Amino acid sequence: MPPIRALNVAEKPSVAKSVAGILSRNQGLRVREGRSRYNKIYEFEYSIRGQRFEMMVTSVTGHLMELEFDERYKKWYSCDPGELYQAPVRKYVPEDKLDIKRTLQEEARRCQWLILWLDCDREGENIAFEVIEVCTEANRHLNIWRARFSALIDRDIHEAVQNLVRPNQLFADAVDSRQEIDLRIGASFTRFQTMLLRDAFNFNFTTDDKNLVLSYGPCQFPTLGFVVERYWEIQSHEPEEFWVINCSHNSDEGTATFSWGRGHLFDYTCAVIIYEMCVQEPTATVTKVRQQEKLKYPPYPLNTIELEKRASRYFRMSSEHTMKVAEELYQSGFISYPRTETDSFSERTDLRAIVEEQQGHPTWGSYARQLLDPGSGLWRNPSNGGHDDKAHPPIHPTKFSAGESGWSQDHHKLYELVVRHFLACVSQPAVGAETIVEIDIAGELFSGSGRVIISKNYLDVYRYETWGGSLLPTYAFGQQFIPTSLTLDSGVTRPPPLLSEADLLSCMDKAGIGTDATMHDHIKKLLDRFYATKDANTRFSPTNLGEALVMGYDDMGYELWKPYLRAMIEGDMKDVSMGIKAKNDVLASCLQQMKACFLDAKLNKAKLLEAMEIFFDRSNRSGTLEQNTVVGVVRRCTLCHQTDLVLKRRPDGNFMVGCLGYPQCRNVVWLPGSVAEATLTNNTCSSCVPGPVFLIQFKFRRHEIPPSFSADHLGCIGGCDETLKQLIEICGTGTRNVGGMPARGRGSTAPSGNNPPGNTRQNACIHCRQMGHASNDCPRAPQSGRPRPPSMTTANGESSIPCNSCGAPCPIRTANTANNRGRRFYSCQSQECNFFVWEDALYGRAARPTAAPIRANASTLGSASHGRGGHGQARGRGRRGGAHGPDVTFVSATGDPFPGRRCFSCGDPSHFANACPNRGM
């Protein structure tokens, strides 16, 4: 029977080399290059349960695939961050790993079996299914198996290959869920924070504000919350004085110190009264003498979190560096897999064999021999810590070493810690004799204790822990003596210390923030993002930036910086891995909850800005989110050809299409001023090139467009849309009210596009006195040749019409805004009225002036021949219909008159020089 060809895939090149070397016993092992020069292929023959195999062993380098948004949503300004909660995502092989993909597919085509040697945790299982997806694209008939092992040693590797199992889809689903949740939440909040704050403030900790990223991570932010909360606790602490009675007694056997049973009192008067009672009757009577055996137990078997905490506490090594060194020791075969939650050994583990390997060590070898000696009575089966991830045993030594030549000092320290910790686990607890003496002075109880260590046991090898002993003089029940000293001392309460790295890891572990494999990454991210600092004692303090961000979200009323939400997500991931919950159900519920938080945070962004202002100075730049809200990418910029044209909503509610390269590129496409809403669609224009040009769904304000036009229109800004061109001709490109804002001294004028229906007072039609339509849309409005509406002349000779609300005369004025310069209107001068109407709305379009053309590098619907008003007339030609009369007064954008202003070309006060009809003649 011909041998079966099996492709074996490990998670790292070093693991692939170790597995191949162990299985082949370094005999008949052939090595050849793959497509990737870092991932070699090892070939040898092997037998699994009597069946001959031709084994090919290669590797990936961690995750083979990445998760990202579709191309349209990848760029920061391509969409509103809130859209990222439902934007399409995809898993793909990145460019730098395509050679690994080609190697796997080429080898898979020639094989019948696929054996996966990825790390035996949820993350490793997810990578395994990435490998499966790539390999089955080339060969759908592969027989797929999983090797489960915990250490790169002969015993584990041979046992794993002889007992292959099927991959666990549930483990992979749990990681897929976490990746998608983290991507959507992290990207949305990171874009929101960065675009809102980066340009709005001067950050004094970086010289490159433009590339500053204010990241948000679902695990990173609660980790920051622990640091900030402890810091606030320290800052808010108010020292409070207290009083305590201290008692001591000297004898021939030594000095005994007795503690007051009440501890301490904050009331000075009460403390003084009690103290005086004791001084007046100072005789102490022994009321109890208790002697008992006291045990100090060895630690539980070592898991990842304990390894990081103890390395930080004993050696001041960061958790990130600890895991890096541990990973290198594991890949070299000296310790078991270092990412494990398990802190109890299974009954199948041969613990004595592990101890036997350490007998030859010059430092702890004698202790190992003593452990194995039945007559010493030192051996004790390790305690059960209560955690088992069902994937890996606790961290333990797998190979003897007295020190390797290539090891750093940290490699020596960490290997020694793992060995000593394991030897301590299988040792008897330390034994001590403790004596407690209680005395009575004037009715007040005091107690003292002493301890004598009888047998150190595990403390002989575990030099990182001590058990201090202090002798107590001998006392007998009923014995009386006069204290040598009896004092009333004062003290003050002290705040807790800053969190150390070990403390922070404990907080994260207790709250379920992150996993044993990722906690150190979250801590490192705080330091990389300038959210926190770590001092020489490994204690963390928040930076101004970190504190401001937590304060801003806290002021909003959200506890995004608290651990509860993330702990719930981690619990859901565990349920997915156990098959209790479905992946899609967890995704839907979690993202729905976080999207609601995100949308509320956007509405309350002022709280975030206020918190930042406490710590940082405002810059002269505005935050991107304060300038324009990006709706989405419309097309590639036709001017700079480097970035995209995007649909933006301006702060005044109007829409525009502009280049993301602003201010370097000022390309802009103006839209009709009557646009109320604009939504980007997935439809593309079939006419405009170069494409794609995405179509925009417009909704126009009904009262600002002619009746013959629909209020809903699917349009193209590429230059082919005649409807948009006509509406620009009719409506112009800006807001329809004067200056786009309420006039000073009176209410708002015409409704603005950013106000919802019913939120703005609407004027009655001046023709029929009815609500619901504008005067220029009234069916009773006078047509060409009909009599004009009633008008009157004011005392100074100005033309006017009666106000439709209060009846007062409304004088005619002339606007001086960029969009409506030279255009005349009537408005009521009363502060209680909002009456406003354009003159050309009453008498037809002929009276409307031509707006000034836009800059040469701006385009209107793809055509540079149109002016901003859409009329295409020469700049400075004035309005059609001749000059204004001498009784016309110009007004500013706010409606206030410009007294004494006149045209400097002809001296006429009715217009400015840029609208002079005599200019250019």
Q: Which residues are catalytic?
A: 337
User: Distance between CA 567 and CA 510 in Å, rounded?
Assistant: 9
**Cα-based angle 738, 741, 747 (whole degrees, multiple of 5):** 90
Contacts from 571-577 at CB under 8 Å and sequence distance 24+?
571/512, 572/177, 573/122, 573/174, 573/175, 573/177, 573/178, 574/174, 576/170, 576/173, 576/174, 576/177, 577/122, 577/168, 577/170, 577/171, 577/173, 577/174
| 756 preceded by a cis bond (ω within 30 of 0) | no
Sheet of strand 675-684, all strands in order from the earlier edge strand to the far edge? 675-684, 694-700, 712-715
User: Distance between CA 13 and CA 64 in Å, rounded?
Assistant: 13
CA 405 to chain centre: 42
Residue 900, classified by CB atoms within 10 Å of its CB into exposed (0-12), middle (13-18) or buried (19+), is exposed
Q: List Cα–Cα distances, 72 to 17, 87, 193, 635, in angstroms.
A: 41, 9, 21, 10
- DSSP E strands in 665-791: the ranges are 668-669, 675-684, 694-700, 712-715
- Do residues 452 and 318 make contact, with C-beta atoms less than 8 angstroms apart? no
Helices (H) and strands (E) in the chain, counts: 22, 31
Q: Which helix (H) or strand (E) holds 843?
A: helix 839-843
Q: List Cα–Cα distances, 611 to 141, 520, 548, 618, in angstroms.
A: 59, 28, 5, 12
What would the two tokens of residue 39 be? Answer: 């991932």
Closest CA to 583 of 184, 180, 217, 124: 180
| Cβ-proximal residues to 360 (8 Å cutoff; 6+ apart), any chain | 400, 402
Residue 623, classified by CB atoms within 10 Å of its CB into exposed (0-12), middle (13-18) or buried (19+), is buried
- Do residues 546 and 228 make contact, with C-beta atoms less than 8 angstroms apart? yes
Q: List Cα–Cα distances, 479 to 199, 257, 471, in angstroms.
A: 77, 16, 19
What would the two tokens of residue 233 be? Answer: 């606790």
555: β partners: none
Residues belonging to the chain:
921
What would the two tokens of residue 484 be? Answer: 């040598």
Q: Is the dihedral of CA 490, 494, 500, 503 positive or negative?
A: positive
**Cα-based angle 294, 297, 301 (whole degrees, multiple of 5):** 175
- Do residues 83 and 77 make contact, with C-beta atoms less than 8 angstroms apart? no
Q: Give the strand pairing for 41-48 and 51-59.
A: antiparallel
Residue 362, classified by CB atoms within 10 Å of its CB into exposed (0-12), middle (13-18) or buried (19+), is exposed
* Lookup result for tokens 């303090």: 541
What would the two tokens of residue 524 be? Answer: 């490192």
**Cα-based angle 738, 739, 743 (whole degrees, multiple of 5):** 65
One-letter amino acid of 707: P
Closest CA to 636 of 560, 573, 717: 717
| Cβ-proximal residues to 529 (8 Å cutoff; 6+ apart), any chain | 213, 214, 215, 220
Q: Which helix (H) or strand (E) holds 800?
A: strand 799-802
